[in-house]
Amino acid sequence: MASDGRARRAITPDFEDWGAINQKEGKRLASKTELALSIRIFFAALARANRIGHAEFRKDELTGFLVTRRRDDAAVATPSRQQVWQAIRRAKELELLDDESRLRCLVLPIHLWDKGVGGTTCVEHGLGGRWSPPRC
């Protein structure tokens, strides 16, 4: 194998186009009420995604990421389940989330997400360690 990185580029031809995100910062951005709810959900997915792009949430945990807060950190409003579903649908339309996304697991598109470390499972989607590309 060549030591100049050619083998790696063969696997990921556009590797130089990739960057990184601080997942703690993604969580902070998910709480910014100035952003549309669909964008906030996208940031919640970025904040929680594992190696295979699955961001699992416990029941009603996603809405906790999306609570509108006052300056004193007191909760003001929590989006309804219907509002969250509508925002997930909108994020899918914008190609920010994969069609497999649900309330309990937001899935980042394969062309958008690659993480070198972390889990490779998803209880919600029944994945036990191997990544299955999204169905087209």
pLDDT band for position 115 (cuts 50, 70, 90): low
Task: For residue range 8-31, list pLDDT tens digits in order.
Answer: 334 444 556 667 788 889 888 888
Residue-averaged pLDDT of the chain = 78
Q: What is the pLDDT of residue 34?
A: 87
Instruction: With 0.75 as the threshold, say if the pTM is over it.
Output: no
Q: What is the DSSP string of 100-129?
A: T--SSEEE--TTT---SSS--EETTTTEES
Q: What is the pLDDT of residue 8?
A: 36
